[in-house]
Amino acid sequence: MNFLELVEDKGKIIDKKKGEHIFVQGFPDTSIYFIKSGLLKAYYTTEEGKEYVKLFIMANDVIGSLSSAYKGGLCSFSLVCLENSNLIKISFSVIYEHSKTDQHVANSMVELLLKFSMKKEKREFEFLCLSAEKRYRQLKKESSIIIERVTQNDLSRYLGVTPVGLSRIKKRVNSDMTG
Amino acid sequence: MNFLELVEDKGKIIDKKKGEHIFVQGFPDTSIYFIKSGLLKAYYTTEEGKEYVKLFIMANDVIGSLSSAYKGGLCSFSLVCLENSNLIKISFSVIYEHSKTDQHVANSMVELLLKFSMKKEKREFEFLCLSAEKRYRQLKKESSIIIERVTQNDLSRYLGVTPVGLSRIKKRVNSDMTG
DNA sequence: CATAGGTTTTAACCTCGGTTAATGATCGAA
DNA sequence: TTCGATCATTAACCGAGGTTAAAACCTATG
């Protein structure tokens, strides 16, 4: 059995409207989600009530809380729809257990995790080595589709600045024609 | 065959002295390394010649450049010994190819990648949601062993501040007894 | 339409950390 | 032991971005 067959076989199709949550930080959720269409936001909420955007998720992406699904704890972040979304929900442990005895599932799992790791490494690099302005420039170059679909509030909290800060950065960058 | 057997069988033991590099950013290196003892630093160098510390690596850690070993490009960072170190070098593709047909190797690969992913998520969270001072406080609490073994220069560049900045943070934190 | 709620911009002020440079402290090698 | 080099601290100045608040803009819904 391959990965996609497993997901289609054991997974459950879910439709969520804009504004609805898939899971919430501090509660358990042992599923992972394959996004078919729509747009979602994964975000952290701090003790002081501040929000930080971990990731935007769109068609063909996969998302889940490792700390809950794999480690068996609680979700370390929340997942909410920014647009009406269609996803497939499947238990992480079903995939995980299958991967232990099914070579094809294991191979897909390895591919998935390698791609995931590369993405996380990229984001780590950006936060460690780039200023907020450079992160904005890079996002504009590489993923302008995200910029068009999310509000400046969400975008700023993804870049690690406040909405006010992003407004200033945009002003600087857009009046500067070096690209 | 299991993972460790494979590494011991196909891997090559390497001894490196303090200051020596294992690989250098911008050059290819398709191996991954299992650290037996010592201490290493993975770091990025920017166009302007600035250094940013990605990670400290010690006994029982595994390190390699995914962008070179997996994607077939060049190393996105450099790896250097901060102390004399003993490691096992093994070709990533040997492990990767084995994992495609050997269930046990695949399982170990999945475990390795899941643990790696969780670490990267943690670091992402810290940069996204915490100030430099909070990152220092957290490191002090969780990994004081690192603080004791690396210079303040390296530590500061791991935390995303300059050595001068870290000196100020330390002063604030150590004169504040709230922990 | 009209109004209420959210989004973006702008301004004023402030803080944290960067930069540069000087001074001390530490460490290693000859 | 001493000399050079690296490391840590401190000070002065600066700038990016935070905070707060107000104003301008949107856009959904009644």
- Copy the structure tokens of residue B60: 């029982």
- Min Cα distance B177 → chain A (Å) is 21
Domain borders along chain A are 3-105
Average pLDDT over residues A7-16: 92
CB within 7 A of strand C (chain B, 105-144): 131-133
Average predicted confidence (pLDDT) for chain A: 94
For residue B175, pLDDT over 80 is answered with no
Pick the CATH number of B3-118 from 3.30.360.10, 3.30.1180.10, 3.40.50.150, 2.60.120.10: 2.60.120.10
With 50 as the cut, is the pLDDT of residue B92 above it?
yes
With the C-alpha atoms ordered B138, A56, A161, A116, is the resulting torsion angle positive or negative?
positive
Which candidate from A66, A117, A129 shows the least CB-CB separation from B46? Answer: A129
- As given in the structure block, the two tokens for residue B179 are 């922990």
Query: Tokens in use for B109?
Result: 């690969």
Going by C-alpha positions, the residue among A45, A52, A55, A57 that lies closest to residue A16 is A57
Do the Cβ atoms of A96 and A47 come closer than 8 Å? Answer: no
Distance, in angstroms, between A100 CA and closest chain B CA? 6
At residue A179, the pLDDT reads 47
- Find out whether B74 and B27 touch, Cβ atoms under 8 Å: yes
- B76 touches A at CB < 8 Å: yes
Give the domain A3-105 fold. Answer: Jelly Rolls (2.60.120)
Burial B52-76 (b: 16+ CB within 10 A, else e): bbbbbbbeebbbbbbbbbbeeeebb
Which of A6-15, A65-74, A101-110, B170-179 is predicted with the least confidence, judged by mean pLDDT? B170-179
What is the reported pLDDT for B179? 46
Q: Report the C-alpha gap between B58 and B35 in whole angstroms.
A: 6
Query: How do residues B119-136 score in pLDDT, each as one tens digit?
Result: 999 999 999 999 999 999
Per-residue pLDDT band for A67 (boundaries 50, 70, 90) equals very high
> With an 8 Å Cβ cutoff, is B106 touching chain A?
yes
* CB contact A76 to B (< 8 Å): yes
Please return the burial class of A177, using the count of CB atoms within 10 Å of its CB with bins 0-12, 13-18 and 19+: exposed
pLDDT tens for B2-55 read 788 888 889 999 999 999 999 999 999 999 999 999 999 999 999 888 999 999
